[in-house]
């Protein structure tokens, strides 16, 4: 079977969101307004894209992307009891991803509010 990538959703009120939740329960991820959501063992992983080239990413920019991902999570929970039930009690892992076209680089992450850089980052000398 040919794969067309993850199901993309812009509005949790649309019927496609129910299909996305069915796939989500089976371990597939969906994309909501650019961020990927996936169930991974006992975690909810949110892949939050950053549009800055990695050499220009400082902590402030990475945390801004994480904050936006948390707002999306809140919106999905507010819109769907089913989604809320699926992710209730899970550790949330926000991963800052730089998509270079042929793949993605994990730059940083925040697990339960604890921010850490991945190996090799940050590339900027900024102390922010």
**For position 110, which CATH number holds?**
3.30.70
Mean pLDDT estimate for the chain: 90
> Is position 9 within any domain?
no
SS3 state of residue 61? helix
> Is position 6 within any domain?
no
Predicted TM-score (pTM) of the model is 0.87
Amino acid 1: pLDDT: 47
Q: What is the pLDDT of residues 100-124, one digit of tens each?
A: 877 889 999 999 889 999 998 887 7
Total domains, the chain = 1
> Is position 55 within any domain?
yes
Question: Which residues, at least 6 apart from 106, have a Cβ–Cβ distance to it below 8 Å?
Answer: 95, 96, 97, 118
Amino acid 35: pLDDT: 95
Q: Which of 27, 7, 6 is nearest to 17 (CA)?
A: 7
Range of the domain at 62: 16-117
> Is position 43 within any domain?
yes
> Is position 23 within any domain?
yes
Burial of 17 (0-12, 13-18, 19+ CB in 10 A): buried
């Amino acid at each position: 079977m040919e794969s067309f990538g993850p199901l993309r959703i812009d509005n949790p009120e649309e019927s496609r969101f129910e299909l996305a939740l069915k796939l989500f329960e089976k371990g597939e991820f969906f994309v909501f307004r650019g961020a990927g959501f996936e169930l991974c063992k006992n975690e909810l992983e949110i892949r939050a894209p950053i549009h800055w080239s990695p050499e220009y990413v400082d902590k402030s920019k990475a945390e801004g992307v994480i904050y936006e991902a948390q707002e999306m999570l809140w919106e999905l929970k507010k819109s769907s009891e089913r989604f809320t039930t699926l992710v209730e009690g899970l550790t949330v892992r926000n991963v800052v991803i730089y998509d270079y076209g042929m793949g993605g680089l994990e730059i940083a992450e925040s697990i339960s509010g604890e921010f850490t850089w991945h190996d090799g980052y940050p590339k900027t000398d900024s102390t922010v």
